[in-house]
């Protein structure tokens, strides 16, 4: 299983983890020529698998269309408030910052 902090493809810069409950992760960052956007991934089951998406043995982020950005951010806010998983405080702060932008 992969953690969001361990997914570092060169296509992304200025990454900020918004959500990482060990099953799914969401980041905000600058992606190639598309500018600031959200990325999401499934982290995989316990064990050596790299989750999805991957390219070969390298874990990646799937770019979320900006047309559904707000819905995802507010859904993440509700999810964090309800579950309060390990590390939620930092992610929640990052998420609030992203919502304000």
Exposed/middle/buried for 91, CB within 10 Å: 0-12, 13-18, 19+?
A: buried
Identify whether 54 is part of a domain: yes
Q: In what order do the strands lie in the sheet with 35-42?
A: 12-20, 24-31, 35-42, 62-64
pLDDT at 90: 97
Please count the structural domains in the chain: 1
**What is the extent of the structural domain holding 41?**
4-86
The pLDDT tens digits for 58-67 are 999 999 999 9
Question: Does a structural domain hold residue 58?
Answer: yes
Residue 94 included in any domain: no
Between CA 68 and CA 86 the distance in angstroms is 26
Q: How many CB atoms neighbour CB 59 within 10 A?
A: 23
CA distance 35 to 89: 26
pTM assigned to the model: 0.93
Residue-level pLDDT, tens digit, the chain, 101 residues: 889 999 999 999 999 999 999 999 999 999 998 899 999 999 988 777 889 999 998 999 999 999 999 999 999 999 999 999 999 999 999 999 999 98
Does residue 70 fall inside a structural domain?
yes
């Amino acid at each position: 299983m992969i953690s969001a902090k361990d997914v570092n493809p060169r296509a992304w810069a200025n990454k900020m983890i918004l959500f990482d409950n060990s099953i799914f992760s969401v980041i905000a960052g600058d992606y190639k020529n598309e500018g600031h956007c959200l990325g999401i991934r499934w982290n995989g089951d316990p064990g050596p698998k790299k989750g999805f998406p991957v390219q070969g043995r390298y874990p990646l982020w799937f770019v979320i269309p900006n047309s559904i950005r707000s819905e995802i951010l507010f859904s993440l806010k509700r999810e964090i408030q309800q579950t309060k998983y390990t590390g939620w405080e930092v992610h929640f702060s990052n998420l609030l910052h992203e919502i304000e932008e």
